[in-house]
Structure 1
Amino acid sequence: MEIQRPEFINTTFVGYVPNPDGRGTLSLLFSCLLTLSLCVWSAIHLDLPPHGETDIEYTYRYLKWSVLGIFGPELVIWAAWRQFISARALTKFIQEKSNNGRNPQWTMVHGFYAGMGGFVFDMDTPEMHGPRFIPQRRLHVTPRGIQLLAKCGLLPDISLEDIKDKSKTDGSGKLICCFQVSWMVVQAAVRVAVGLPLTPLETNTIGHVVCALINYALWWYKPRWIKEPTILRGEWTRAICAFMYMSSQVSAEHKVNRDVLRDFGVKTEMSGVLYTPGLPGSQESLDARALGTRIAPRSDQECSEGDIPLTDESEPSDDPLPANGRITMLKGLELSAQTFHQEEVVSKTVHKTIPSEMRIERWKLACKAIEQYPAIRERLDIPPCDQDELRYREAHRLYPEMPDKVSQHPSGHKPSQHVKASSNKSWWCPSEELVVERPRNWPGDDLLRHMQGHLMGIILWCSSTVYGAVHVAGWNEQFPTSVESWFWRMSGVYIVFSGLLWSFFNLLGHLSGSVWWFWYGILEGAERKRSHILIYALCCIGGTLYVIARVYLVLEAFISLRALPAAAYDSPSWVLTVPHL
């Protein structure tokens, strides 16, 4: 290619020269791509990475969430909203307790920092030196765990400035991104006002812009790009960490390595043991907060067969209460605070389990935590009397904000009863996700919430309906072929229909107790019925069509650039003069 020098160069001085009228294909494409990148990459705020994760692995995880932000932006909104209400609930709880002056200042930034795994127990710290009691090197404390620490008077003290110093983005950077993505909406509104057509790519981008602005609003106070957490220190850490570990799913023998529905079918170590106070005469009274202890493991096999493990109420026992505190295994080993020896106990299923030294140490520390902190003792409850009661309590643990019609158990049991309400010899401690092995960006049982599950489901599906409605608004947009036009319309309508349908199902579950328990049975997966199989099949078919519709809307937005009406490249003159990227 030969480069020719112009024969004549105009050297006349001129003043202001406007941009050429109109826009080109590349400028349209690059403008939308830049806006999309800001909507998905810059708007996403991930939690802390697992310990030892490389930069490549962290970037890859960011890319996966960016892809989710392109094809399912309302799912990112759902995650941001759940994290927001958890941070707000934790902040409100701690600020109310801070009235006594014992807790440090706590803001929404602290709430988000706690929710993203900012506080950890590290086994390599001097405070953790001693016999090893958990296999993991680090455990991240969840918002529920931070709430328990606040109740125990052990809230971590970290300043707002220290957290902001860890973050790689501040409010000004987020504000600039919001202005940039908002320009796409302004430009589209001007085009519609003057009668110029919008391209499918612009329509799709506007949908992402709306979602991105919502994400920025929800994650405004959430730190970003933090990789190193705050290590909890103090003599109290060993005992509290042991108790939190036993109460969380990380202690389960059979873990579920997934983010969705991970709470079902996972039995924590705490769910398999019973706690027994010591003799009142040998130590201080219960109200004086000094308890001897016994923790007895229960058999999962018995539970699965409908037989609740033996308790002091279901099977008389001559075994006296411990005088100095001990941990007793009903199925094999008895451990005293000073010595341990073998002891066989006859039950419906003979199952001998000899705990490891690590488990023995963990149980000792957990008992110490129960003895020391009244907030932990208040968690103790009456042991379940039958399989239905056990199922009810598990449902109440997963959905504590269940509707009133569902929470009224036929037996009249109230989950708020605890150890001070009775003189039972054995007590049951409900499980709760207090620590996790790694932070999980998808919302789960580790986050706090103040709204019932089905109402949160309605909000999720309503956001999906809004996203579909944005694309349905482009009903009369011109496409290269009529087939593409009708596929675009059907995809948008199907997304709106799916959102409304599932919102109705969630509302029905909120209003009807029988429907609520039906859906819980499906999620629980404990029993396979024909109706459940039919629901699974319909969800599989409907979900596949939903994914196809979402993918088509994104792909068609780019494919349609091959043939657009000429008016799509016209632009109002003043729009071109506004500085933007």
Structure 2
Amino acid sequence: MLLILLAVHLLSRDSIAAPLRHPHDARATTDSCDDINNCRTLFSVVWGCLATIFACTWVSVHPNVPPPDQSSLQLFWRRLKMMLIAMIAPEIMVGFAARQYFGSRELANEFNFSPTHGMFVCMGGFVSSDEHPIATKGQLEDPNFGLELQKAIQIVKEKDITDKSKGDALSKGLALLQGLWFILQTLARTLQRLAITQLEVATLAFAIMNIFIWLFWWNKPLDVQQPFVVGPTTQPDTETVILPVQLPLRARLTGAVFGD
């Protein structure tokens, strides 16, 4: 992100003084605007930046499935913390999303899961009957229970997973378009040697970094609060056990594909 800020600053530093040397160029940022067709107002600049920052943080952040019995306030605070991390250090969030993406692809290729199933495993979307997450390759490769777990996860339909998402391709696409539009608008002003505020430069860096978050988390369901339980299940009037009763009681962070 620092490299992006530096590059944009070097490209635009000559343009910042342009309105002072050329008074006829009324498109510079100012606190007032006498001709709305030829200049920008302070409100329009701030509003465009805040809207883009909001889309780049709140909308693009996809939390993992939370622990059980969390209140609405705890869920809100949990997502707010992720939003603050995305604002302060977006590089961390990009690495976070990239790790989940490549982990989900590895699961999809190795265990014949769909990308959505692989991502749902990484985000803690499948739990045992005692509410322990199934989030490690070791659990899926366990010689006693691994094969049963793989079959149980494959039984869950992809549309049932996406149905848990609070967002869809339209909402994600609109947020992505907002970021792309801001990037194109800022780059156009840079090429035309027009003034660019420091707030716009910072927002541009946020938008570029968050494009990667959107792409990495495109298949990740948004705001899922209840996981799928793939513990022991029996059908009425039958004694067929679909899954084993006992599962590992811990999912260590070491060796996990992803941990919250």
Q: CA deviation at 1:33?
A: 0.7
Aligned to 2:134: 141
1:152 is aligned to 2:147: yes
What SS is found at the alignment partner of 1:70? Answer: helix
Match for residue 252 of structure 1?
A: none
Q: How does 1:118-137 map to 2 (within 5 A)?
A: 118-123=125-130
Question: Structure 1 pair 201/60, CA: closer, same or farther in 2 (3 Å)?
Answer: same
Q: Is the 8 A contact 2:127 2:231 kept in 1?
A: no
Please report the TM-score for the alignment, with normalisation by the length of structure 1: 0.35
Higher helix share goes to which structure? 2
1:44 correspondence with 2:54: no
Residue equivalent to 1:446: 256
Q: Aligned partner of 1:245: which letter?
A: L
The correspondence of residues 536-551 of structure 1 with structure 2, limited to 5 A, is: none
Q: Does 1:65 align with 2:58?
A: no
Alignment of 1:137-536 (within 5 A): 138-145=131-138, 147-148=140-141, 151-155=146-150, 156=152, 157-234=155-232, 235=241, 236-239=243-246, 241=247, 244-245=248-249, 248-249=251-252, 398=254, 445-447=255-257
Whether the 8 Å contact between 2:149 and 2:230 is mirrored in structure 1 is no
Higher relative contact order (CA 8 A, sep 6+): 2
* Residue 110 of structure 1: aligned partner: 117
Q: Is the 8 A contact 2:104 2:118 kept in 1?
A: yes
Distance, in Å, in 1 between the alignment partners of 2:60 and 2:94 is 10
1:175 deviates by 1.2
Question: What displacement does 1:187 show?
Answer: 0.8
Residue of 95, 110, 113 corresponding to 1:93: 110
**AA paired with 1:187?**
Q
Structure 2: unaligned runs, 5 residues or longer: 1-34, 233-240
Secondary structure of the residue aligned to 2:245 is helix
Alpha-carbon separation, structure 2, partners of 1:143 and 1:91: 13
In the TM superposition, residue 111 of structure 1 has moved relative to its aligned partner by 0.6
Larger Rg: 1
1:134-168 alpha-carbon deviations (Å, 9 max, x no partner): xxxx2111142553268524322100110111111
1:362 aligns to what?
A: none
2:97 — aligned with what?
80
Is residue 56 of structure 1 aligned with residue 73 of structure 2?
yes
Distance 1:60 1:151 in 2: 35
Contact 1:120/1:141 (8 A) holds in 2: yes
Q: How many residues align?
A: 210
Could you report, residue by residue, the CA deviation over 1:57-97 in whole angstroms, capped at 9, with x for unpaired residues? 111111111111111000000100000011000000012xx
Residue 287 of structure 1 corresponds to none
Question: Could you tell me which amino acid in structure 1 is paired with residue 147 of structure 2?
Answer: C
Structure 1 vs Structure 2 CA RMSD: 1.9
Whole-angstrom CA distance in 2 between matches of 1:204 and 1:78? 20
For the 8 Å contact 1:80–1:215, the answer to whether it is kept is yes
Q: Is the 8 A contact 1:121 1:139 kept in 2?
A: yes
